[in-house]
């Protein structure tokens, strides 16, 4: 039958070829001969009746080209830090699948790439001729790589470069439950003692973190125009991870802000920022922790301390969620076990009510 043919004789793999109303020719792979004949007849009928819609062809691009197209489109919408993270992960992904046509990459190839990413590999050390072998990537890091590839294919689908997302059929890695480390009273006293003797200007920055729960990036993007001491409101800058939100300023935070204003020396930033692209503030903080004998603690754990102390003081989780800027209450629930009332009512139901005293009836009197 004209318009129905085998590309390879004897393969039983059939194609159809037809012209649309404008004379443009189209070739489609169908499969078995009977199905190809039926498809050809249907296409000719659609063209004749004016119902034909030409199939959207996938534009042939490699995965590397698709990744660059996504980054170019997201340039003005994502934070620099987020874009930097994507580019950093792509430096390891592209050698594995970057040269392959994006439309030809299947789920099996994605799983193969994920296995290769997880396997430790030797890397050259900076400023040395030696190599070091990195440890196996954790589940959170692997989910970040998977998310990056998933985002690229999703972008490709929306813009007509690919028809499907092979990452969608892969299994996500188990997320890390997260570590909640907060300061005990004696640890805080030890840190303050060493800080006052070695780096006293850092104490006001620590107090601001302890009484606002700001993330590190939020705190050091904070500018004075976002502080309203008259109304007692601090506005978290939009550069924050979850966007703008409002935090009440308590008396300790107010005192910290007054000290920071004196230290800022006219800077628009609340916390003084180094002119260097590499700020050694965290190095100083870690040295103070070492001098104070406090281990396994980071600046971010000041935020955990803020949340933990609120919950232990009886503040409800919804309010804590708003202050922390969590998109989901599920994230805030990590602190629920610290609440003095958490689960008490439920557990109390296990206690059987006291049996009522026996009534004195006739039988009791006779006995």
The pTM score is 0.60
Give the integer Cα–Cα distance in Å for 328 and 318.
10
Structure tokens given for 323: 């202050």
3-state secondary structure 291-338: HHCCCCCCCCHHHHHHHHHHHHCCCCHHHHHHHHCCCCHHHHHHHHHH
Give the integer Cα–Cα distance in Å for 320 and 317.
5
> What would the pLDDT profile of 35-90 be if each residue is shown by its tens digit?
888 989 998 888 888 887 776 555 578 999 999 999 998 887 777 778 888 999 99
> What would the pLDDT profile of 110-155 be if each residue is shown by its tens digit?
999 999 998 866 655 555 555 554 567 888 889 999 999 999 999 9
- pLDDT on residue 283: 84
335 is an active site residue: yes
Determine which one of 43, 303, 304, 334 is catalytic.
Answer: 303
According to DSSP, residue 169 is labeled G
**Res. 28 pLDDT band, cuts 50 70 90:** confident
337 is an active site residue: no
326 is an active site residue: yes
Determine which one of 155, 221, 304, 326 is catalytic.
Answer: 326
300 is an active site residue: yes
Determine which one of 43, 211, 215, 334 is catalytic.
Answer: 215
pLDDT exceeds 90 at position 33: no
For the chain, the C-alpha Rg in angstroms (whole number) is 32
What share of the chain in percent tops pLDDT 70? 83
Determine which one of 241, 259, 273, 291 is catalytic.
Answer: 241
Determine which one of 7, 32, 176, 300 is catalytic.
Answer: 300
241 is an active site residue: yes
Q: What's the mean per-residue pLDDT of the chain?
A: 84
Give the integer Cα–Cα distance in Å for 363 and 344.
41
């Amino acid at each position: 039958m004209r318009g129905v043919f085998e590309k390879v004789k004897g393969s039983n793999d059939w194609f159809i070829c037809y012209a649309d109303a404008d004379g443009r020719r189209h070739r489609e792979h169908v499969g078995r001969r009977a199905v190809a004949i039926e498809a050809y007849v249907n296409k000719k009928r659609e063209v004749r009746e004016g119902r034909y819609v030409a199939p959207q062809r996938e534009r042939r691009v490699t995965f590397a080209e698709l990744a660059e197209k996504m980054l170019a489109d997201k340039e003005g919408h994502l934070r620099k830090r987020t874009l930097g993270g994507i580019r950093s992960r792509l430096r390891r992904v592209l050698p594995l699948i970057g040269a392959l046509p994006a439309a030809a990459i299947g789920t099996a190839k994605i799983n193969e790439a994920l296995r290769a990413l997880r396997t430790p590999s030797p890397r050259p050390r900076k400023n040395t001729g030696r190599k070091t072998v990195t440890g196996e990537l954790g589940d959170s890091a692997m989910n970040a790589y998977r998310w990056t590839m998933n985002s690229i294919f999703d972008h490709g689908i929306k813009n007509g470069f690919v028809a499907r997302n092979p990452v969608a059929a892969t299994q996500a890695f188990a997320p890390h439950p997260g570590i909640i480390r907060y300061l005990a009273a004696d640890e805080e006293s030890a840190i303050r003692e060493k800080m006052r003797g070695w780096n006293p200007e850092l104490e006001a920055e620590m107090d601001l973190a302890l009484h606002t729960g700001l993330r590190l990036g939020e705190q050091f993007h904070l500018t004075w125009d976002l502080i309203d001491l008259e109304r007692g409101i601090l506005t978290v800058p939009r550069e924050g991870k979850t966007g703008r939100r409002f935090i009440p300023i308590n008396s300790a935070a107010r005192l910290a802000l007054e000290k920071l204003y004196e230290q800022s020396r006219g800077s628009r930033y609340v916390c003084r920022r180094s002119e260097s692209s590499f700020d050694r503030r965290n190095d100083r903080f870690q040295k103070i922790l070492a001098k104070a004998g406090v281990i396994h603690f980071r600046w971010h754990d000041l935020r955990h301390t803020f949340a933990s102390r609120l919950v232990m003081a009886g503040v409800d989780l919804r309010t804590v969620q708003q202050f922390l800027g969590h998109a989901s209450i599920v994230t805030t629930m990590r602190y629920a076990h610290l609440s003095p009332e958490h689960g008490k009512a439920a557990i109390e139901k296990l206690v059987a009510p006291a049996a009522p005293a026996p009534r004195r009836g006739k039988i009791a009197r006779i006995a």
